[in-house]
Chain A
Amino acid sequence: MNDLAAAASRLPPVVLRERGQREVFCGLTGIVWLHRKLQDAFFLVVGSRTCAHLIQSAAGVMIFAEPRFATAILTDRDLAGLADAGDELERHCVRLLERRPNISTLFLVGSCPSEVIKLDLGKAAERLNAKLLPNVRVVAYSGSGIETTFTQGEDNALRAMVPLMPASTEKQLLVVGCVADIVEDQLRRAFEALGVGPVHFFPARRATDLPAVGPGTQLLLAQPFNGETVRALVARGATLLEAPYPFGAEGTTAWLQAAADAWEIPASHFQAVTQPLAERARTAMAHARTRLAGKRVFFMPDSQLEIPLARFLHRELGMSLLEVGTPYLDRQMVSAELELMPPDVTLSEGQHVERQLERVRASRPDLTVCGLGLANPLEAEGLATKWSIELVFTPIHGYDQAGDLAGIFARPLERRERLGL
């Protein structure tokens, strides 16, 4: 049996491929967390009023501080060619940067309308760079719905920064994917205790703090949706460490193990460092486990986190998986996860929301993980839901968030028990 066949035999048997109405966000939504993570960056969407409305609606509430994002809304004048897009963008960018002198990276974010009218934001970025560098660097990427799904926006943003990263042959660990600052600190402490280092995070807290990349770079992925970024980093010489994602005690241990192996950390030392942490995580999850074990969960496609989280719920909290939907299946990103999935799981890729809802109604899950547009209607039908966007906006990685992550899924069920209605 060759490698490919071996890999294929490990795949879960059912992958349902569907085409139809998709109830998911577009890649612009990533700006909601990226603009908080990158403290020196500003995101300027070039799009329509819909784009502006989407971002403020997806954020749920408006952010108290003046946000580090805005939309340059295309109007009839722009479409009719009465206004030169390059001039207009330059005018707005200069005005924006005057107001925000602490911004050092400006992202020009493409949208569906800017893609369809073939506005070349790459060229616009070049032109602006000639004017603004070295104070401000302008980087273009697309978050359009015709090309990206929800978290793919982060992938495109990071991918656009890869060519700017300095080269290095030093042996180093690079953690790829946006994580909460507190998670970053916890993971750094774990790597330090293990003796793995130096460790860099991509993205860092400042867009200008770009880590180096090269043949010595070992990639460990914190998020499953950065496939294009990873492939670009590999093209620059980096090596991908295959591992499940650091959700739950098991996932985090396996994730750290991949790094420890690459650094040839003795097993006894690895055990000594991780065992107490894993034990603490299991203690934190115990309460939620009593509530979730034996319950049936259905994932609607949303953030690409579905497969790793389903694995976590199944293996660590004892839930059974009815269907695990994912917007798209990037096998390279989830190969280690697929190996850990139960063989009888139904995976679905893409979406036909009406047919999928029929399956939800037919199987009546104990918990349905879905987007905000579907949650209240399903609750009204008597089905408990967990809105998936919380999983993107909450620190859920690593040992010390395992209890919180389990709690996110347990809370809807606990709430139903508490309410005497």
Chain B
Amino acid sequence: MQLTLWTYEGPPHVGAMRVATSMNDVHLVLHAPQGDTYADLLFTMIDRRSARPPVSYTTFQARDLGGDTANLVTSAIREAVDRFQPKALLVGESCTAELIQDQCGALARGMGLTLPVIPLELPAYSKKENWGAAETFYHLVRGLLADRVPAPGAAREPRPAGRRPRANLLGPTALGFRCRDDVEEIARLLARMGIEVNVVAPLGASPDDIRRLPEADFNIDLYPEVSRTTAAWLERAFAMPRTHVVPMGVGATRDFIREVATLAGVDAAPVLAAEKAGDRAQHASASRAPWYAQSVDSTYLTGKRVFIFGDATHAIAAARIASEEMGFTVVGLGTYSREFARDVREAAQRYGLEALITDDYLDVERAVAEAAPELVLGTQMERHIAKRLGVACAVISAPIHVQDVPARYSPAFGFEGANGLFDAWVHPLVMGLEEHLLQMFRDDFEFHDGAAASHLPRSGGQRAPEGNVAVLERPVESPAAAGDPVWTPDGEKELGKIPFFVRGKARRNTERFARERGLAQISVETLYDAKAHFSR
């Protein structure tokens, strides 16, 4: 048993629902008890979808268990096919149905249906939502393309002269982070390079579109958590090359342009030249973020401590942006995507960190408190952690909430995505001059730690109550041992003047400094001696 307060990912059948709901003419029949329909509201409320997810539930009850639950499956399938007339049918089980072993896939296949039926294995007691989405997408693609796979070793037909190169955009789904607008942004970028989008899938694709996937020259593995399995299979089966760079951030977008240009056999230079990073002339480039980061107003962003947690793709990309494009210091990097743990560990090493690989919300909260960041970039869970600890926060990854699906065009990928991220990450911070004033006049009754940044509403920038600040400052598990240095009242008072978010670190460093020197007391002077010592 694993104890959980909040969960980053739902069960794998919710991943299957994300794929089905993203598509047209696909229906999913889920063998599931009453209550599992709760997942519908994720799509209709968070994503504000105007149609119900294309999912039918068998809704078995305790009284059915001794009898014929298999019959419920076949009747639900028959009814769903008659009513919704899908062009492909997915059949899966939620956690409880897995235990009663009705073999839904075999039942469905035995019904003599004329449409493609794709049975799903969704092991609920070992796997999670993103895995479920990736597997569902893979089995759907594989199932629908089964008769089109060329003989092993067959060479791929070269692109006919005169036909533009074509790419598939793989991985965007319902309930993903900014997928709707990322697809638009990347399609525009490809169009500028003379590359056509063949199929976007799963988002907006039908089974007929899936059948056309091999007509593209290469695949863009846009959201590897969902699409890597499929893109890798298409590479093996159809010799379709795939991208490895995710275009989030200016640097990554430029790398992506180069990679795509190579795969498509086009010249990257015109687009890269037009998007001169840091072009000072207004309107000269769609890529404004680099100049915004270089302009002197951004000086105060230098070395801001940032903690990053999310799915692997967004967390790795955010760390690169934070470090190279914002001038922040990455003090924590982690993911709940265990399938991609290796990638995140490698990335963390670049920042001299050990990656946090966990799906335990309390572990993340502890790590954030320990790292004492000034900004948390995370999921909607980290929004709550940051709120609790009184730290600024921006969301960069699923799981998302309703406010992470904005009405405006707001991609996270491409040049416009990078512009948006600059705004979204800077906005929650206390602005430059205000921060200086805060430090200079710390005792001002309206300008204290508890006061929110003046451009933010009270509720958003509220500092944590004292009880929680104490968590940040003093690890509970280390009570003062006998012989430990004691703070003098003056020392303690001076410590209180140090900004809230680094106070815990200052306390720990100073105590260590004093202990190493065998000091009995920590005075104002000890504090500044320690400060000088650790600033070397």
Contacts and interface: CB of A to CB of B under 8 A. Distances in A.
A70 B50 CA distance: 32
Contact of A21 (B59, B99, B384): B59
A73 B1 contact: yes
Interface in A29-72: 29, 46-50, 52-54, 56-58, 60-62, 64, 66-67, 69-72
Interface string B27-70: 00000011111111110110011111000111111100100000
B50 A376 contact: yes
Contacts of B83: 354
Given A62-B381, A112-B33, A56 B126 contact: no
A112 B5 contact: no
Nearest to A146: B62
B37 A78 contact: no
B165 interface: no
Q: How many of chain A's residues touch chain B, expressed as a range?
A: 35 or more
Contacts of A26: 33-36, 38
Which of the listed residues A75, A149, A375, A376 has the most CB atoms from chain B within 10 Å of its own CB? A376
B1 A46 contact: yes
B384 A62 contact: yes
B3 A96 contact: yes
A45 to B, nearest CB: 9
A372 B11 contact: no
A113 B32 CA distance: 11
Nearest to B14: A53
Q: Which residue, B57, B58, B65, B125, has most C-beta atoms of chain A within 10 A?
A: B125
Among B11, B14, B41, B49, chain A packs the most CB atoms within 10 A around the CB of B41
B59 A377 contact: no
Contacts of A372: 40-41, 44-45
A117 B101 CA distance: 12
A377 B52 contact: yes
Contact of A53 (B10, B61, B380): B10
Contacts of A22: 34, 37, 57, 59
A89 interface: yes
Nearest to A374: B52
Contact of B2 (A54, A72, A95, A371): A72
B95 interface: yes
A29 B35 CA distance: 9
Tell which of B7, B9, B65, B126 has the most Cβ of chain A within 10 Å: B7
B62 A147 contact: yes
A74 B96 contact: no
Contact of B384 (A20, A64, A71, A116): A64
B528 interface: no
A144 interface: yes
Nearest to A375: B44
B17 to A, nearest CB: 11
A24 interface: yes
A73 B37 contact: no
Interface centre among A27, A47, A49, A64 (most CB of B within 10 A): A49
A117 B99 contact: yes
A356 to B, nearest CB: 13
A72 B50 contact: no
With most chain B CB atoms within 10 A of its CB, the pick from A46, A74, A85, A379 is A74
Nearest to A379: B50
A182 to B, nearest CB: 23
A112 to B, nearest CB: 4
A375 B123 CA distance: 31
Given A22-B34, A50-B124, A78 B11 contact: no
A373 interface: yes
A25 interface: yes
B263 interface: no
A371 B381 CA distance: 25
Interface string A296-328: 000000000000000000000000000000000
B387 interface: yes
Interface string A138-164: 000000111101000000000000000
25 contacts: A21-B76, A22-B34, A26-B33, A26-B36, A29-B35, A48-B124, A49-B124, A50-B124, A53-B38, A54-B35, A54-B36, A64-B387, A66-B5, A71-B7, A72-B2, A73-B4, A74-B1, A78-B125, A92-B3, A113-B95, A116-B99, A146-B33, A146-B96, A147-B61, A379-B50
Interface of A: 20-29, 46-50, 52-54, 56-58, 60-62, 64, 66-67, 69-76, 78-79, 83, 85, 88-89, 92, 95-96, 112-113, 115-117, 144-147, 149, 354, 371-377, 379-380
